[in-house]
Amino acid sequence: MTPTPLFPRYHGIVDDVAAFEAACLSPLPHFFWTNPLRTTPCRLTQRLQADGFQVRPLPWHPAAFRIPAHQTGLGRHWTYLAGHFQIQEASAMVPALVLAPAPDHRVLDLCAAPGNKTVQCAVAMNNRGTVVGNDLVCGRLSPLRQSIDRLGLFNVTITCHDGVNYPPRTGPFDRILVDAPCSCEGTSRRATKRSGGQPSPHLRFQHKQILLLSQAVRRCRVGGRILYSTCTYAPEENEAVVDAVLRQFSGRLAMVPFEVAGLRTSEGLTRWQQTAFLPEVAAARRIWPHHNDTGGFFLALLERTDGSEDDPVPGFIDEKRQKPGGFQHLSARRSDVLRMMAHRFGIPPGVWDGLVFLENNAQVGFLATHDHRPPDLAEQSSGLKCVHLRPRYPILTTGAAAAFGPLATANRIALSAEQRDAYLSRLAFTPSAEQLAACHGTGYVLLCWQETVLGLGFYGADQGQVASLFPKSMALSGVSPD
C-alpha cells in the first residue's frame, strides 16, 4: 500500500519532499541551552557526559546542545533540577536569539506559556532589565513560574491578560515577541500520534494572529523590534499575517532581514496559491525539519519606524510604589529575612543589594531587580519567589537557597550521590557526624552536591535525620519534563 503523503499541500514549496517527509517521521532529538547564571557550557557537558549522555553542540548556538532521541531522563538529571540548563526544542530557541534583547530593555512575550522563550530572553539580559511573560490563561503560566524559580531569575514579571487587548498603560516595550497560537504543524515530530496527512484549520487562527501582531506594534516603541513566530508551515498563519499587518501599518513598520550563522533557513514566500504578498515578506525565514534536524518554524522580524508614543513608561519598583494584587515593598520583613540568613547560614547581609523585596498577601516574599519596570496589572507577580513569610520564622524557597546558598558558611551539608537522589525524591536521610560538622543543631540546612546548592532541608537533631524540602512539582518521583 502506498503511504499517505505528509503535508501534501506544502510539497510545492519544499525543496526536497522525500527528505522533508523522512524528517517528519523520524524521532526528534532532545535539545537544551545552558544557564550561564549557574554554570558554563563546558562544565555542564562534562557533567552530563560523565553520566552517559551523548551531548553534541548546536553549530548555530554557542551554549546549546542536543542528545539523541533514544536517550531519556534529561529532565530528571540533577543539573536540570538545579537550574543549570533549560530544555527547549531547537527551532524554538531561534526567536529569542534573533530578537537579541539587551540588559536595559523592556521586553514583552505576549503569548508566553509555557515560558521557555521568556526565560531565554531573561537569561540573555543577564538577569537585568524587564521581561514580561504574558498569557491569556493563568493556569498555563505555572511552568513559567517554575522555570523562573529554578533558573534563579529576578527580572521577570508574569501577567495574565488577553494579548489582543494588552493595555496601553503597560508602557512601550523595546522588544516584543509574538509566538502566536497556531495549528502547530511544525511540532508533528513530537506528537505521540502523527497526523501530518490531515488538513488543519489554518484560517481559524489567522484573525487572532493578526490582532496579536497588531497589538504588539502598538505597544512597541519607535525603533523597537517585534518578532512574530509560529510553529506551523501554513502560509495563511505566517506570511499572510505579516503581509496584512505591514499593510495595516504602512509607513510605520518595516521588515528587518536577518540570518543565524550556521542555521539553514529559507526565505518567506511572496506568493501562495492565488495570493501575492508584499515583496519585503521574503525577509521572513522558514525553518524546515530536514534542514537542521529540528521542528518546523516561521519567523519574521519587524521594526516600528514611525508613529505616536502616548504610552507612559512605568517607573522602577521602589519603596513608595504600591503594586496591585497584594504586592508592596517591605523594608521591615526584608531585614528579618536577611538577619535569619546571616544568623543561620552565614550569608552576608549585603547579598540583596540591587534587589527589591516584595510581599504577596503577607505570605510569600519575592525579589526583583532595582531596574525592573513591570506593568501595573491586577494579575501579575514580579521576580524570584524567595521566602515563605511564616509568623515566627521565614523559610527560604528552593530557588533562593540555590541562588544565595553558595555564599553560606554554616549549616551546609555535602551530600553523597545516594543522599542527593533521596533529597531530590523528597525522602529523608541520615547524615554522618562528619557531614554535620558545620551544622548547629536542629534547624534548616542547605544541601549541596559538587559545590552546587540543590535546596533546603530540615535537620532534626533528636531523630538524626534530614527531611527533604525539595518541591513536589520538581521531585524525581514526579513527571519528567522531557
d(Cα 144, Cα 327) in Å, to the nearest integer?
19
d(Cα 33, Cα 86) in Å, to the nearest integer?
5
pLDDT, tens digit (0-9, with 9 covering 90-100), for 420-437: 999 999 999 999 999 999
Q: How many CB atoms lie within 10 A of CB 421?
A: 15
CATH number of the structural domain 8-304: 3.40.50.150
CA-based nearest residue to 382, from 435, 316, 462: 316
Cell of 105: 530593555
d(Cα 176, Cα 217) in Å, to the nearest integer?
8
The structure's pTM equals 0.93
- Would you identify the CATH topology of the domain 410-474? Nuclear Transport Factor 2; Chain: A, (3.10.450)
- Domain-by-domain residue ranges, the chain? 8-304, 327-404, 410-474
Q: What is the mean pLDDT of residues 66-78?
A: 96
Percent of the chain's residues with pLDDT above 90: 81
pLDDT, tens digit (0-9, with 9 covering 90-100), for 2-25: 567 789 999 999 999 999 999 999
Cell of 386: 524567595
pLDDT, tens digit (0-9, with 9 covering 90-100), for 118-134: 999 999 999 999 999 99
d(Cα 399, Cα 83) in Å, to the nearest integer?
9
pLDDT, tens digit (0-9, with 9 covering 90-100), for 267-296: 999 999 999 999 999 999 999 999 999 999
Strand ordering across the sheet containing 412-414: 412-414, 443-449, 452-460, 465-468
Q: Specify whether the CB–CB gap between 55 and 48 falls below 8 A.
A: yes
d(Cα 482, Cα 477) in Å, to the nearest integer?
14
Task: For residue 448, indicate whether it is catalytic.
Answer: no
pLDDT band per the 50, 70, 90 thresholds, residue 359 = confident
**Cross-strand partners of 33:** 64, 86
Q: Specify whether the CB–CB gap between 35 and 85 falls below 8 A.
A: yes
Q: Specify whether the CB–CB gap between 300 and 228 falls below 8 A.
A: yes
Cell of 374: 513591570
pLDDT, tens digit (0-9, with 9 covering 90-100), for 456-478: 999 999 999 999 999 999 998 64
The pairing of beta strand 266-267 with beta strand 253-255: unpaired
Report the interhelical angle of 116-124 vs 90-99 (nearest 10°): 40
Q: Which of 24, 231, 386, 448 is catalytic?
A: 231
